Structure 1
Amino acid sequence: MTTTSSCIIGVDAGGTYTDAVIMDRATRTVLASVKVPTTHANPGIGIVHGIRQLLAKGTIPVTSIARTVISTTLGTNALVEGKGADVGLFVIGFNQRLDVPAEDMRYIPGGHKAKGIEREPLGLEELYDGIKAMKGHVQAYGISSLMSFADPSHELVAAKALSLLDDKPVFCSHQASTRPGMKERATTALLNAKLLPIMQTFVQGVRTALHELGVQGDVCMVCGDCTEIELDRAIRQSASTFASGPAATAWFGSHIASTDTALVVDMGGTTTDITMVAGGKPVMDTTGMTIGQWQTHVQAVEMFTVGVGGDSLFTPLGIDNNTLGPSRVIPLCQADQYVSPQDVAHLTDAIQQLGPKLKSSLVIVPDPASPPHSPLVAWLRDQGPTTSETILQHMGQGEIALERELGQLLKTRSIVQTGFTPTDALHCLQHIAIGNTDLAMLGARVLGTCLDMDPVTLSNHVLSLARDKIATTILQYVAGREVNQGLSSFLHTNDNPLLEITVRLKPPIIGIGACSRYVLPEVAEQLGTTIVFPDNFDVGNAVGAAWLGLDKGNP
């Protein structure tokens, strides 16, 4: 029996699964671990399920829990998948075009010079007009003013004006950046604003979950730079959690690495994250992390992310240009969990319509009893699982308009998509059995017919696409920091009749993630290095979060 306040809980809420471990603080022994599906609409539900199962696995009283440390990739995954809030950006005192992911952008007179000298007065009239134009069309606001790290007054006035005219969340660049670089600071503010509603929902879910379970002690989140942050600050500074999951990954790897340098590769359901440890510590990116195509001023572990994971969508476009990811879908083997029992037969019929391009995935309304949000949702609720092509034919919309509407419905989780994924491929090859193998096999047969492949060949092909993407990404990461990113193209020169170049990765790989054992060994072999799967590698991020809580937290 454990004693009072003798344990720490580590939780990692990923894009597909929520992992949780309970660890003895004195011995750092993992006493129990669980893996449950992430509940995106309310992540707290998944956390409740995970911690409840942890406590039920042994004689671990809730009073023994001293701390709870949480890492998450939900924010990063949302940005990789193009989700998050629609943000209106106000750029003050800088009238050059910025290529940033804003729903709307307005340039406002104002800003400051060096030493906080006002460049020109803040354009209150232009600000008012911009707020009126954006109100009702955006879900959050970002503000970035020229040299606001020297004097944030124009950002503060603009934020106050926004709060008086609209109740949507607002984030200012001076809250996260103290360095010059207008585009990077504007991007940091904008991406933070995109995550504000997501983080608010997440934190509220965490609090509700822990209160429901009676878990006491302090609660914190892992930041991307391997520090901790209180939950309230995590809402106000959402950007600090961009690399929360990878930070836990790197912290786990830093305790496992037996060599001076190692690569930690975490294959999750949505993305594969690559971090590096050197000298027993995670390597930090002091210039500011890149998220997708956008450079920020967020301090975080040095990482490289690729949009391929266990639940990445496979799209058959032809034998030489099939694609995998970055879209995440519900694997076919789990799709029956999202339809009513009477619709399972309809789901089977719909899978038989799968094929190239738009028909590579199916659309499902996950809760047929919920009120319709649009004519399309109402039709889908009656129709049941169907392809995008069928929707096009019925609704009479253009392809671009339909993709836009489906994207909005996916954001609000009014619909889900299902399709063939590496998780399905692993079912077809009988490596795992966590879902309906018959549905996975049906999808493999249908898609295989399009490519003249049997289900086993198709499944191996899909896993090969995943391995190639991960191997190429590892080379891009290493080559980009050591030589030149163009070096990654050498991986594929063995097909050249005149040129053969061998590239070998020197550091070993530490594998994390439930699917990684079936994908990463071939990646390591392809790169000429070794790989190790430590104890608890399938829940490594949760272990890393707990270890970080022990190393950084209060005794």
Structure 2
Amino acid sequence: MSNPIFLGIDTGGTYTDAVLFSETRGVVAKAKALTSHDDLATGIAAAADAVIAQSGIDAASIALVSLSTTLATNALVEGRGGQVALVAIGFEPADLERAGLLEALSGAPVYRLPGGHDVHGKPRTLDLSALQAALPTLAEEAEAIAVAGYFAVRNPEHEIAVRALIREATSLPVTCSHELSSKLGGPKRALTTLLNARLIGMIDRLISASTAFLAARGITAPLMVVRGDGALISASEARLRPIETILSGPAASLVGARHLTGLDRAIVADIGGTTTDIAILEDGRPRLDPEGALVGGFRTMVEAVAMQTHGLGGDSDVAILRDGIAAGILLGPRRVVPLSLAALSDGSNLVSALKRQLANDRPGRLDGRFAARTAMTPPRHLPDRDRLLLARLGHDFRPLDTVLVSASERSALDRLAGQGLVRISAFTPTDAMHVLGRLSLWNSKAARLGGALLARQRDGRGDTLAADEAALAERVIATLTEISAHKVLEAGLSEDAARGFGPAFDPARTEAVRRALARPTSIVGFRLSLDRPLVGLGASASTYYPGIGALLGAEIVVPDHADVANAIGAVVGQITEMAEVLVTAPEPSVFLVSGGAQMELFDAEEPALRNARETASAIALAKAERAGASDPSLAVDEHISAPVIDGQRQFVEARIRAVSSGRPRLAVDPV
């Protein structure tokens, strides 16, 4: 096929985007559909069918399908995900309190087993008795299992044994830490594995929805998924390692931004429904974060672009900060369904409830807030209080002032929402834009009523939050603009600090920056500037970013097709896989090669290095081929630490890294 057509799909928290793309013609067609969280296939089908109909092509002729998503990122930012258990081999109790692991566990069951290995991969005695005793009830406690062993990257045999035992006794998916990272740092690797297990169900549903749609339309093209570093992997690999899809959507947007603008140097900010993602382009490429992706406050071992992800978007929950005397506005980090959107499916009941609340002379703290249960099946171990509350909810949005019968049920509702069993609807910046007439996508009447309810809430002095819904909407948009400007500055300052240009600092806590953004009438004025354009991406970029650029004194670039940059980035990337093998010298004239399927010993340095190069190359090529690469290339580099002490060369270690890259295999390629 001389001019193959690619289908790019981006599933976000609010919209699912689809693009048909040709390397010679560019964007052939694009479309959006609301993301259907209860059944992801519905939103995917609606968006993809729309672009196929626009273009008039035969769906069966599509040569490649690639998917980017913010679902995993959003889940970690919002604290959502499946119920998991951790099997920690050779870990001490204090290890569980490092690297944010205890916070991430959030009460999940932990089984500590004696075992693990030392730094050279030599085993300690493994005792499986505690796990064997728990096997009969394990499936009732968790939907997926994370397994992390001490120094498993040097020798994974204990993790493999535990995985085999769990798989023999249950049908639960199991993730082992050595499959996700070759880096040292047991607690951080355990954290990464735990988060991976938490995301398995979510990403599996997304890929299943995508493959079902492709099959129904007769599309036989390979399905790829964007990783957090912007590279592509096959859908089957993404199912096993969903943690690698955190920052998938943001990484795809960077690839798309570079393609759409041609800019080599820029700050790229992508505002979606749930998050705002900001990264720096230098020499046409984003920098990878050497410490691993930071999402939702957790520092993982996932190699990803150096991206700052904030729980700030068009669908961020607008809440009231009542600390102190004056009231303030809080945005996010939780995404809620905008009132204007919720009213599309159940407008009369929702609007009636808003009118009833507005007719009450006394404002209630639950005014303008609604809940509905999703189609997800609740887990068997759901607490009684949560189960009773869930039973009172229907699939249509109901006002919380009639649903919650006690204050303690607020925490139960938060838990249900965190597990994806309940959706919350409330006032958002998207509603504010409907109030101001800058958007007219959905039900503006519901937005105005919700804004009026929020405007009359009172602060510590007894003053109302705003004069009316319009003034409240202006305040919400001003808050979003100011916070966004701070986040862009924060990203730029962090990048400067990473390059050695002074320490990073929080611009929100700096008086000079505050004055520069507020621009008060004063004798001494402060001004800010950026050394490169600010590229705004997302469906609402053209609405929000001119105001952000005005605060920062920055050139704003909102390219054509900025609303579907993620979907474009999903199909213009390539597959890149890496393997690292380590050579150490535990004893004189003994060289240990680890990082492959098993450890190997050599009595001389050069044979050990040769074996390490061959092993790393074979692993990288095999990974690239599994990921779907066609005719991948290979590059190998090595770093040898061998200082000269007292005139004698002392070998310490060598790290051999192999990188294999290639474009995805197309449906028309020979297998």
Instruction: Give the structure-2-normalised TM-score.
Output: 0.75
Q: Assess, with a 3 A threshold, how the Cα gap between structure 1 residues 547 and 350 changes in structure 2: closer, same or farther.
A: farther
3-state SS of 2:120 partner: helix
The separation in 1 between residues aligned to 2:129 and 2:359, in whole angstroms, is 58
Partner in structure 2 of residue 486 of structure 1: 505
Question: In the TM superposition, what whole-angstrom CA distance separates every residue of 1:192-240 from its partner, at most 9, and x where no partner exists?
Answer: 1011111111111110011112222221111111211111111011111
Partner in structure 2 of residue 403 of structure 1: 410
- The residue identity in structure 1 corresponding to 2:115 is G
Structure 2 counterpart of 1:454, from 465, 468, 473: 468
Q: Assess, with a 3 A threshold, how the Cα gap between structure 1 residues 527 and 60 changes in structure 2: closer, same or farther.
A: same
Partner in structure 2 of residue 327 of structure 1: 334
Structure 1 counterpart of 2:119, from 109, 114, 125: 114
Partner in structure 2 of residue 6 of structure 1: 4
* Matching of residues 242-321 of structure 1 within 5 Å: 242-257=246-261, 259-318=263-322, 320-321=327-328
The separation in 1 between residues aligned to 2:136 and 2:534, in whole angstroms, is 52
The separation in 2 between residues aligned to 1:382 and 1:43, in whole angstroms, is 16
3-state SS of 2:152 partner: coil
Q: Assess, with a 3 A threshold, how the Cα gap between structure 1 residues 359 and 132 changes in structure 2: closer, same or farther.
A: farther
Partner in structure 2 of residue 25 of structure 1: 23
Structure 2 counterpart of 1:123, from 112, 127, 141: 127
Structure number having the greater helix percentage: 1
2:539 pairs with 1:514? yes
3-state SS of 1:85 partner: coil
Shift of 1:351: 6.9
3-state SS of 2:328 partner: coil
Shift of 1:546: 2.2
- Asked if 2 retains the 8 angstrom alpha-carbon contact of 1:350 and 1:386, the reply is no
Partner in structure 1 of residue 437 of structure 2: 430
Question: In the TM superposition, what whole-angstrom CA distance separates every residue of 1:338-379 from its partner, at most 9, and x where no partner exists?
Answer: 438566534543576796755462223468xx9xx9432343
The separation in 2 between residues aligned to 1:223 and 1:504, in whole angstroms, is 32
Shift of 1:528: 2.2
Question: In the TM superposition, what whole-angstrom CA distance separates every residue of 1:168-197 from its partner, at most 9, and x where no partner exists?
Answer: 221111011101011220111011101111
The separation in 2 between residues aligned to 1:45 and 1:61, in whole angstroms, is 20
Partner in structure 1 of residue 14 of structure 2: 16
The separation in 2 between residues aligned to 1:366 and 1:143, in whole angstroms, is 30
Structure 2 counterpart of 1:172, from 158, 176, 179: 176
Partner in structure 1 of residue 370 of structure 2: 362
* Matching of residues 9-408 of structure 1 within 5 Å: 9-27=7-25, 29-95=26-92, 96=94, 97-98=96-97, 99-100=100-101, 101-102=104-105, 103-118=108-123, 120-131=124-135, 134-257=138-261, 259-318=263-322, 320-339=327-346, 345-346=352-353, 348-349=355-356, 358-359=366-367, 361-365=369-373, 374-381=387-394, 385-387=398-400, 389-392=401-404, 394=405, 396=406, 398-399=407-408, 402-408=409-415
Q: In terms of mean alpha carbon deviation, does 331-340 or 207-216 score higher?
A: 331-340
Partner in structure 2 of residue 532 of structure 1: 557
Question: In the TM superposition, what whole-angstrom CA distance separates every residue of 1:405-464 from its partner, at most 9, and x where no partner exists?
Answer: 223433565432111101111111111111001111111122112213222211111111
Partner in structure 1 of residue 447 of structure 2: 440
**Which sections of structure 2, spanning at least 5 residues, go unmatched?**
379-385, 458-464, 498-502, 576-661, 667-671
The separation in 1 between residues aligned to 2:136 and 2:212, in whole angstroms, is 35
Partner in structure 1 of residue 620 of structure 2: none
- The residue identity in structure 2 corresponding to 1:434 is L
Shift of 1:64: 2.9
Q: Assess, with a 3 A threshold, how the Cα gap between structure 1 residues 410 and 245 changes in structure 2: closer, same or farther.
A: same
Question: In the TM superposition, what whole-angstrom CA distance separates every residue of 1:445-494 from its partner, at most 9, and x where no partner exists?
Answer: 22112213222211111111212222222222222232333242333245
Q: Assess, with a 3 A threshold, how the Cα gap between structure 1 residues 217 and 383 changes in structure 2: closer, same or farther.
A: closer
Q: Assess, with a 3 A threshold, how the Cα gap between structure 1 residues 284 and 414 changes in structure 2: closer, same or farther.
A: closer
- Asked if 1 retains the 8 angstrom alpha-carbon contact of 2:75 and 2:81, the reply is yes
What's the % identity of the aligned pairs?
Answer: 30
The separation in 2 between residues aligned to 1:151 and 1:351, in whole angstroms, is 64
Question: In the TM superposition, what whole-angstrom CA distance separates every residue of 1:27-86 from its partner, at most 9, and x where no partner exists?
Answer: 3x2111101111112222211111111111132221331111111111111111111112
Q: In terms of mean alpha carbon deviation, does 56-65 or 427-436 score higher?
A: 56-65
Which structure has the greater CA radius of gyration? 2
The separation in 2 between residues aligned to 1:482 and 1:232, in whole angstroms, is 38
The separation in 2 between residues aligned to 1:162 and 1:360, in whole angstroms, is 46
- Asked if 1 retains the 8 angstrom alpha-carbon contact of 2:340 and 2:442, the reply is yes
Q: Assess, with a 3 A threshold, how the Cα gap between structure 1 residues 226 and 105 changes in structure 2: closer, same or farther.
A: same
The separation in 2 between residues aligned to 1:342 and 1:106, in whole angstroms, is 48
3-state SS of 1:69 partner: strand
Q: Assess, with a 3 A threshold, how the Cα gap between structure 1 residues 552 and 381 changes in structure 2: closer, same or farther.
A: same
Q: Assess, with a 3 A threshold, how the Cα gap between structure 1 residues 498 and 106 changes in structure 2: closer, same or farther.
A: farther
Q: In terms of mean alpha carbon deviation, does 501-510 or 232-241 score higher?
A: 501-510
The separation in 2 between residues aligned to 1:352 and 1:221, in whole angstroms, is 50
The separation in 2 between residues aligned to 1:342 and 1:191, in whole angstroms, is 39
The separation in 2 between residues aligned to 1:283 and 1:470, in whole angstroms, is 21
**Which sections of structure 1, spanning at least 5 residues, go unmatched?**
none
How many residues are aligned here? 542
3-state SS of 1:91 partner: strand
- Asked if 1 retains the 8 angstrom alpha-carbon contact of 2:389 and 2:413, the reply is no
- The residue identity in structure 1 corresponding to 2:572 is W
Q: Assess, with a 3 A threshold, how the Cα gap between structure 1 residues 134 and 328 changes in structure 2: closer, same or farther.
A: same
Shift of 1:6: 2.5
- The residue identity in structure 2 corresponding to 1:426 is M
Shift of 1:403: 3.3
Q: In terms of mean alpha carbon deviation, does 344-353 or 42-51 score higher?
A: 344-353
- Asked if 2 retains the 8 angstrom alpha-carbon contact of 1:41 and 1:413, the reply is no
Q: Assess, with a 3 A threshold, how the Cα gap between structure 1 residues 253 and 333 changes in structure 2: closer, same or farther.
A: same
- Asked if 2 retains the 8 angstrom alpha-carbon contact of 1:364 and 1:384, the reply is yes
The separation in 1 between residues aligned to 2:349 and 2:313, in whole angstroms, is 31
Q: Assess, with a 3 A threshold, how the Cα gap between structure 1 residues 383 and 139 changes in structure 2: closer, same or farther.
A: closer
- Asked if 2 retains the 8 angstrom alpha-carbon contact of 1:9 and 1:68, the reply is yes
Q: Assess, with a 3 A threshold, how the Cα gap between structure 1 residues 132 and 528 changes in structure 2: closer, same or farther.
A: farther
- Asked if 1 retains the 8 angstrom alpha-carbon contact of 2:342 and 2:397, the reply is no
Shift of 1:320: 4.2
3-state SS of 1:381 partner: coil
- Asked if 2 retains the 8 angstrom alpha-carbon contact of 1:365 and 1:385, the reply is no
The separation in 2 between residues aligned to 1:17 and 1:356, in whole angstroms, is 32
Q: Assess, with a 3 A threshold, how the Cα gap between structure 1 residues 191 and 498 changes in structure 2: closer, same or farther.
A: farther
Task: Indicate the RMSD between aligned Cα atoms, in angstroms.
Answer: 2.8
